[in-house]
Chain A
Amino acid sequence: MSSHAEASEKFIADAARTDWHDETLWFVRAKRDKASKVLPEWEALREHASQIKDHTLANLGEYLQAFEAKAQANGIQVHWASDAAEHNAIVHGIIASQESKVLVKSKSMLTEECHLNDYLAKKGIEVVDTDLGERIVQFRKEPPSHIVLPAIHLKKEDVGETFHQHLGTPKGNKDPQFLTEAARQHLRGHFLASEVAITGVNFAVAETGEFVVCTNEGNADMGAHLAKIHIACMGIEKIIPKREDLAIFLRLLARSATGQLITTYSSHFHQPREGQQMHIVLLDNGRTRQLADPKYKNSLKCIRCAACFNTCPVYRRSGGHSYHQPVAGPIGSILAPNIDKKANADLPFASTLCGSCSNVCPVKINIHEQLWFWRQDLMAAGLAPASKKIGMQFMAFVLAHPVIYRLGGSLLRRFASLLNNRLNPWYKQREMPVAPKESFQEWYKKR
């Protein structure tokens, strides 16, 4: 598995495509800005949402139990899963109770986290991802590169080619309208035939036991309302206390994600349809560990809008696949190390700590500060390469001893030109700074 740095280098090698990817996502950031500046109360909304989430996380156990009780009273079956394996087994258990071999699934990053599709495939069950972007990457056997815009890394030519191969659209046709229509017809067939639908959950309300699913396409609803069994998969942190709190989150979510006023559909599921089974699976998978750490607890406020992705200058120029796990971008870099420190030790360093992410986050997660904390924890866990450890110890020593620092500085300046070679990563695409004859301190001494 490539590190973020290695994967990014490959991504950037195609400079024109990188520019296109960067500009496309910057445009989404710009739309978000425009939408946020129309509401004078925008910053107050963020603060309010942040406080609601802080309060919820501080009382999460109670709210989860309240949600469970209300949901059950409404006829929804509630399941709990400690980890991804349990989650997948529960979902399979529900599906196996009837004969379907094909089911439809709308966007759920949680199911990506659990690798549900692969698990079910091994059990002989095919999952059809119905979000257009997800269906495209599913055909291509790639993971999504963005949690809201799964196929943002693909040009229309790429989609045209994929649909030609899998849907029989004419070769060379790259018209988004035409291709979307082809996908509509193809997926419509699946919606009408599927007996099981899996959806994600955007918000679950403890007060009423209902959950809300937001889409622009209507695919979650097309699946859920026609299926005999609806399974909703949810991270335990998606709970909010009261129904009226939804107002704040629905005002913030789409504006932050795409600059839209609201998603086309915000469906509130309260009770199963008559004759339908409705299930909700509550997943931990390391969230309680994150919750218990005061430095990272805040990351659980996330409402998965991806505003942080769109503003991140590193994400825009490296692409989601460089983050080598389901949730990329800044939020992914503070969530992933909790799941696997070793595999994701590079991610908190894939940042200049510019702080833009924290500013666009609708729930005010201090992402850039958590990136800094993860760097400390990962190095303390011994995950630094030996050369870095030694280099840091050397630097700490030199900088704690003024005489050695001054000597080192003057040697560095005298022999600086030796660093103008290919072994010096700085020198690859940049000139080294010109070394002055005197340091400031040397000049000042003579003054």
Chain B
Amino acid sequence: MRVALFVPCYIDQFYPQVAVASLELLEKLGCEVTVPSAQTCCGQPMANSGFASSTAGCDTNFAQNFEGFDYIVGPSGSCILHLKEHHPSEKIRTSVYEICEFLTDVLKVSSLHASFPHRVGLHQSCHGQRGLRLSSMSERNEKPFSKLEDLLRLVEGIQITKPERSDECCGFGGTFCITEEAVSVKMGQDRIKEHTANEVEYVVGADSSCLMHLEGILRRQGSSVQVKHIIEILNHE
């Protein structure tokens, strides 16, 4: 299967290991992965700040880099949701997949050669959950499901815990993390308190933006709890 790997800008620059794990896992699962070299960003930071009108250059660059692919896969729920809802090209909108979504719905992964004998706390990133329906939502009267948990359960030795408020936002919110710094940090601290109460070694999620924010707080607190993108765990041998 021909797949193009979309590498979100902040993962490219600050969390390359997440893109490495994504590439390796997709290849292990039999995909032929192309990584367009001139890709930059999905445009979300500008659009969510009210400047969707300025993303034309960014959108064009994205379309040029990913032309002709039926599967554009990226390890970020918020970026993929933004592309699905706002990219001008219909082909792009219908070809983008968040990686867990891709593993579950397209590759239909039912087993993995992965081992991660640690206690982890699951963080449900909002856009992936409520926007891309990676998991059921606590507000709705619906049958519970979680693509993230289903994938994690394929990993040997892992212990999965969930915070008391299973899907409350971490407080990153894009430029919100700067413009409303006090609320943003308080929200992150509250999430961490619940994971700490579960005595986790790692906080795991499918969005490095959330994890970057939580990690920043954890390290400032001097905590031994680390963050990991779910793909790093699914690719961990």
Contact = CB atoms under 8 A, between A and B. Distances in A.
The A contact surface, by secondary structure, is helix
Nearest to B23: A444
A445 B37 contact: yes
A360 interface: yes
Interface string A301-341: 00000000001011001100000000000000000000000
A287 B212 CA distance: 41
Interface string A338-357: 00000000000111111110
Given A351-B176, A409-B12, A429 B217 contact: yes
A399 B9 contact: yes
Contacts of A349: 50, 176, 179-180
A99 interface: no
B44 to A, nearest CB: 10
Question: Could you say which interface size class chain A belongs to?
Answer: 35 or more
A317 B165 CA distance: 15
Contacts, number: 207
Nearest to B185: A429
A396 B57 contact: yes
Contacts of A443: 16, 20
Contacts of B185: 428-430
Nearest to A41: B141
A402 interface: yes
Nearest to B139: A359
Given A317-B187, A395-B45, A444 B35 contact: yes
30 contacts: A5-B180, A12-B182, A12-B183, A22-B190, A313-B171, A314-B180, A317-B186, A350-B183, A352-B174, A356-B167, A356-B168, A360-B139, A375-B49, A378-B50, A380-B53, A384-B50, A393-B54, A395-B45, A396-B54, A396-B58, A399-B40, A400-B60, A400-B61, A401-B40, A426-B177, A426-B178, A431-B215, A431-B219, A433-B15, A439-B13
Given A350-B183, A351-B176, A352-B176, 13 more contacts: A19-B190, A349-B176, A352-B171, A353-B174, A354-B130, A355-B130, A356-B126, A396-B54, A399-B46, A399-B57, A428-B181, A431-B215, A433-B215
Interface in A1-34: 4-5, 8-9, 12-13, 15, 18-19, 22, 26, 33
Interface of A: 4-5, 8-9, 12-13, 15, 18-19, 22, 26, 33, 36-37, 39-40, 42-43, 311, 313-314, 317-318, 349-356, 358-360, 372, 375-376, 378-380, 384, 388, 392-393, 395-402, 405, 409, 412-413, 425-426, 428-436, 438-441, 443-445
